[in-house]
Structure 1
Amino acid sequence: MILLFALIGRLVQIQLVSSESFTKHHINLIQSSVNQRTQVLSIDSGRGKFYDRNGEPLGHEEVPALVLFPFLKGMDWPSKKVAQAAGISESDLLSAVNKAQKPFAYGGKTPLYLTDTQMDEINSLKIPGVFAISQSVAKKMPAEQLIGTLTKWESRKKQLYPRQNLSPEAHVGNTGLQAAFDEFLLSEGESKLVFHVDGIGGPLFGVDVKYVEPANPLYPVRVITTLDKELQAAAEDLTDKLQIHNGGLLLLNIETSEIRALVSRPAIHKKNPNIGSENNMFSQAKLGSVFKTVIAAAAIDYQLVKPGQVFDCNVTINGAIDEKRRLGTLDFEESFAQSCNRTFGDLAIQLTQINPDILENYARKLNIIGPSGWQGQVFHSEIKQLFNEEQGKVWDQNTDKKDKRLAAHTGIGQQDVQVTPLAAANMMATIARGGESRMVKAVSKVTFKNGSTVVEFPNKKLDSDSISPYTAMKLQTMLRKVVIEEKGTGRVFQGLPYEVAGKSGTAQTGKMKDGKELYNKWFAGYFPYKNPRYALVAVNLEVPEDSGGINPLFHKMVMEVYRHDQNKND
């Protein structure tokens, strides 16, 4: 009797109590029993998908495919008619079916693309186990660190959705936009073709193949990103061709403050997505002389530079003769164009003596510290579009801001200064807009499957104070002189079809490799100068001083943007 009651108890547990979450592995027994007696072809996982700003799919493709079930090998079916309609060899068709152990799309990794006419003709034959359908096929994801990664880890699922009993096969967002928009993207159920079979895999005749899709026809949703698929492809191709192994680029549309292209290297490792998943465009790094833009803005507002004042640029910020770069005697704007360290070290000392917090205040006004990404309330939840965006810094917590030596090194973007490429691009966009600070967007809206809008993300201003239009105008002139001056550090960009304004930066990292000191190399700018449309930052991290220049990447990307715009206008 004890044994009988124990068996009854076990049966109750299996059939009633734990049928959807059996043992510590949370096995869904109902789903497992269905899997045991069916042949299934997944058409779509049901998870929301990403598209570029023009509605082009990112990371997937809708393929009109010929789907075949393996039980056809034991049937007499009009294979000749199917082959003729699909435009393929009957022998190849029969061979593929005979080799099949489960439902499949004909052609494998290179699926057969059917026309609408071919699909209609095949489906009109009404053959059990033969279908012409549109199937979602995964492709290499562009901007992979921005879009992010998925995981099936149970611990992650329980952390995010403790009250939902998600399938062991269900994916949830782990990084990037996949994580930031996970609640929108979560699958409402996959679309699939299901056919019931007997114990040895034969068809149960009288039971048709069923098309199963989510109960809610509005799903899966579509996340419309701000990326331009063509510009993104060009950016990735250039970054890899120029062998940027640690760094990348970020292209912003200035008017809308939207990301048009983003490349982060190293790429995500195929077998271990945790390797390379960090987005270097959202991670802080030593900035170097690009930070002189902040010093220049503060010096303009506080009128530190008198008319006709010049600086001795033959010496370093410590007062020693500069053996590497003797620039002579330069005025304020020439010092900026040629990136004279002594000038901006001296100005930083003067500013910190006036107020120790001035450098931080102006860094915040120019958006290079603090958050840059879009955030706000959506359906009573706080949405932050840019996953794990770091916020940069000017000083470490315990640094003496009035120490003249430390202030001088801070003024040239060394010491404690750390900034993300995203923030540097946002600074250039702010200057180009005349001082107006805006949040950066990676997603413009989320729509239902039928195209109706779930939520739209408007352009938003940042809460921080901004520089004045006058200061922005002065900075615009100085950034342009970096390029047009005969000895400017950006003179290599003079011949481009779009006039460029910007600032170079080379920062010591304090790291060594093969006996050589490693540097971060930057160029941050915007273009066209007279009618600004794009802000662009290119960065190569931790490379030797005599190699790994970043100017070719910036130069070639401007050319790609110009060609893209010309083609669009044509």
Structure 2
Amino acid sequence: MGQSERRHIAGLVILVGLVGLLAVRLAWVQFVLSRQVVPGGRYTLAKTAKVQSEREVVLDSGRGRLLDRSGRPLAGKTIWTAVFFPESGAAAGGPQGPDRAAADRKEALKRLAPLLGTTPAELEKRLAEEERPYVWREKGGRQPLALSPEQASAVRQTGFDGLAVLPWTRRYGGEPVGRQWQGYLSEAPRTDGRGADGGLRVPLNGSAGLERTLEPLLRGVGHTEVYARVDAEGKRIPGTGLTVRTPANPYYPLSLYTTIDLELQEEVERLARQAGVREGAVVVLDAATGDIAAMASLPLYNPNEVSPEGGEWNNRALQAAVPGSIFKIVTAAAALEAGLASPGEVFSCAPGQEKYGLKCPPSAGHGASMTLEQGFARSCNLVFAELADRLGGERLEAAALTLGLGRDIGWREPHALGLPELRPLGGEQAGRIFAAGSRRDAAACAQTAIGQRDAAVTPLQAANLVVTLLHGGEVTAPRILRRAVFASGQTLAELPRHGAPSPAGRISPRTASQVLRMMRAVVTEGTGRSLRGAAWPLAGKSGTAQTTVKGAPRNNQWFVGYGPADRPKYAAAVLVQNVAPDSPPAAAPLFGRIMDFLAEREKTAATAEV
């Protein structure tokens, strides 16, 4: 073999070796990329090249929807918005030349800017700064600008190059709300090594409320995006058009129907703000079913901006607070059920009389004696201190547990929707009747009997207490989630109502009826007389609890009740928390305005049906 042949063979071996190394390298790159996930599947070399030649905007994260009881969106509403796709050579002109193209662009900017809430100069500046596709945001905000159908049509008619009007799924509105039960989303830790502008949507997980408790059901299978072909500079190639890419899964995302009445929820939030409530909660339950129709917590929060450290999203409707005299509902029910008192029995409330330090102020005008029904209506502490003596702590606590206080009552179901336990209302506090050992102390028992000392009740429990009486003593489990539906519209599961019975049994329908009549007397002749002019005849119980906040005396104002009194449709609890002791009453007036709204709505609906 000659020297020339040996050189050829050596060169061929080297070439084969280099090709082999290249093949190994390509296989390694393919393996590494295959471990990384992109929308629609794992990376391949072909997909990598395709992604590098595209720029996308996510239109829908693919997360499941939360709907009110009528199907109106609570989280996941689709809006129309403007999306810009910067084009290469946008001002280069066309058949008519660059001057005419520039003039047309200037005219389009002049018509487009007002529709987007900006000026032509600001819009031009933004277009010059942006190189990637982007959604036009609200002025001074982070949310995409929602366009009305008329605005969307006008934007399209401008004919502006590189602009499309597209449907975009907005998780929340931008206004503060009292829907802490709904929760919020936060960014999940990234695992792909990409930055926030790497072309992929930062994954979001539920961090509170239903967003967290229902996370396995709400988590989607991939997002919907619109993408454009781009050149080497990342700008859209004119004439290539836009393409929508979607997971096309017939089952997901799910739609989860709640029991919330969105119209009522919004009105409760509005009325609470109007009343100047800074801290507190309102719970409205359907009297017939016990379902949660509205639940508002204050202070309000913006789910788009809340942080886990902020704390404002805490749901005060599920947090226990000192109940004051609304607890007298429990004490009265316990005494009547045990046969230790009757509504017409006369008790002493002589001026200057005290029991365990409890007394009624002369301004209350209770008189030297009054019946149990009168003592309940006028909230006489001495009457209820006497009842506490007759009952004792153990019997009083047992009655409270029987009526749904001192324990979790929110709806829950084991092995529902594929979860070990479906419990939508996470973070619900059990409340308390007595601290350890104090139930045997007569003075502590008397204090608890009027809703002070150790007693703590959540607004949800307080509203449900009223429903329990309306149901003849049967404790229901308040439900906020009622149905899960596939993307195809097929029902995945109905979530039926059920009770929350106590091991100790229940009070009798007779006792429940007696207490309800006494609650009506609160409005006709007692502490709730300000509600006598309401649109519906109402019944309820007021309460004022003394607390201390950072060493300063404060009051919790309560009102719980139902309406209309002759054919109950709604039960509600209003808590105005941590106000100054000399603050004017706020809970009862707010309760009245909520019931007036419901009465007017029912009247309007009845008129429309005629």
Length-normalised TM-score, structure 2: 0.78
Select the residue among 573, 588, 599 that pairs with 1:551: 588
Select the residue among 383, 390, 395 that pairs with 2:422: 383
Distance 1:529 1:247 in 2: 25
Equivalent residue of 1:522, what SS? Answer: strand
How big is each residue's C-alpha offset from its partner over 1:323-349, in whole Å with a ceiling of 9 and x where there is no partner?
454522111111111111111112112
Equivalent residue of 1:146, what SS? Answer: coil
> Within the alignment, does 1:53 sit opposite 2:92 as a pair?
no
Distance 1:330 1:221 in 2: 58
> Within the alignment, does 1:149 sit opposite 2:198 as a pair?
no
> Within the alignment, does 1:501 sit opposite 2:520 as a pair?
no
How big is each residue's C-alpha offset from its partner over 1:372-425, in whole Å with a ceiling of 9 and x where there is no partner?
2110031342101212111111012x2232211111111111111111000000
**Paired residues of 1:40 and 1:192 also in contact (CA < 8 A):** yes
Select the residue among 197, 217, 232 that pairs with 2:230: 197
How big is each residue's C-alpha offset from its partner over 1:517-543, in whole Å with a ceiling of 9 and x where there is no partner?
111110011111111110011111111
Larger radius of gyration: 2
Distance 2:95 2:569 in 1: 59
Equivalent residue of 1:529, what SS? Answer: coil
Select the residue among 577, 591, 597 that pairs with 1:560: 597
Equivalent in the alignment of 1:101:
131
Distance 2:211 2:490 in 1: 21
Equivalent residue of 1:244, what SS? Answer: coil
Distance 1:543 1:32 in 2: 61
Provide the identity percentage.
30
Distance 2:178 2:287 in 1: 20
How big is each residue's C-alpha offset from its partner over 1:290-327, in whole Å with a ceiling of 9 and x where there is no partner?
11111111111111126864222243332676445452
> Residue 169 and residue 106 in structure 1: after superposition, are their counterparts in 2 closer, same or farther (change >3 A)?
closer
Equivalent residue of 2:457, what SS? Answer: coil
Equivalent in the alignment of 1:276:
312
Q: Mean Cα displacement is larger for which, 549-558 or 8-17?
A: 8-17
**Paired residues of 1:71 and 1:203 also in contact (CA < 8 A):** yes
**Paired residues of 1:525 and 1:536 also in contact (CA < 8 A):** yes
> Within the alignment, does 1:233 sit opposite 2:285 as a pair?
no
Equivalent in the alignment of 1:327:
366
> Residue 189 and residue 289 in structure 1: after superposition, are their counterparts in 2 closer, same or farther (change >3 A)?
same
Aligned partner letter, 1:297: A
Length-normalised TM-score, structure 1: 0.84
Equivalent in the alignment of 1:113:
148
Equivalent residue of 1:264, what SS? Answer: strand
Distance 1:307 1:445 in 2: 43
Select the residue among 541, 544, 548 that pairs with 1:510: 548
Aligned partner letter, 1:437: V
Equivalent in the alignment of 1:162:
none
Describe how 1:151-550 pairs up with structure 2 within 5 A: 151-154=186-189, 169-203=202-236, 209-268=242-301, 270=305, 272-273=307-308, 274-305=310-341, 309-314=345-350, 315-318=353-356, 322-323=360-361, 325=364, 327-328=366-367, 329-352=369-392, 356-377=393-414, 378-381=416-419, 382-396=421-435, 398-464=436-502, 465-485=505-525, 488-511=526-549, 516-547=552-583, 549=585, 550=587
> Residue 231 and residue 115 in structure 1: after superposition, are their counterparts in 2 closer, same or farther (change >3 A)?
same
Distance 2:245 2:427 in 1: 37
> Residue 510 and residue 307 in structure 1: after superposition, are their counterparts in 2 closer, same or farther (change >3 A)?
closer
Equivalent residue of 1:249, what SS? Answer: strand
What is the CA distance between 1:104 and its match in structure 2? 4.3
Distance 1:387 1:13 in 2: 46
How big is each residue's C-alpha offset from its partner over 1:237-274, in whole Å with a ceiling of 9 and x where there is no partner?
11111111110211111112111111101122635353
What is the CA distance between 1:469 and its match in structure 2? 0.9
Aligned partner letter, 2:469: I
Aligned partner letter, 1:501: A
Equivalent in the alignment of 2:117:
none
> Residue 101 and residue 416 in structure 1: after superposition, are their counterparts in 2 closer, same or farther (change >3 A)?
same
* Count of paired positions: 534
Unmatched 5+ stretches in structure 2: 1-21, 97-106, 114-119, 139-143, 192-199
Equivalent residue of 1:251, what SS? Answer: strand
**Paired residues of 2:178 and 2:298 also in contact (CA < 8 A):** no
- C-alpha RMSD of the superposition: 3.6
Aligned partner letter, 2:428: E
> Residue 306 and residue 55 in structure 1: after superposition, are their counterparts in 2 closer, same or farther (change >3 A)?
closer
> Residue 67 and residue 268 in structure 1: after superposition, are their counterparts in 2 closer, same or farther (change >3 A)?
closer
> Residue 32 and residue 143 in structure 1: after superposition, are their counterparts in 2 closer, same or farther (change >3 A)?
farther
Distance 1:297 1:392 in 2: 19
Distance 1:431 1:409 in 2: 23
**Paired residues of 1:483 and 1:494 also in contact (CA < 8 A):** yes
**Paired residues of 1:59 and 1:140 also in contact (CA < 8 A):** no
Distance 2:68 2:306 in 1: 26
Distance 2:94 2:320 in 1: 63
Equivalent in the alignment of 2:173:
139
> Residue 190 and residue 338 in structure 1: after superposition, are their counterparts in 2 closer, same or farther (change >3 A)?
same
Q: Mean Cα displacement is larger for which, 314-323 or 462-471?
A: 314-323
Aligned partner letter, 1:389: E
Aligned partner letter, 2:484: V
Unmatched 5+ stretches in structure 1: 1-6, 80-87, 158-166
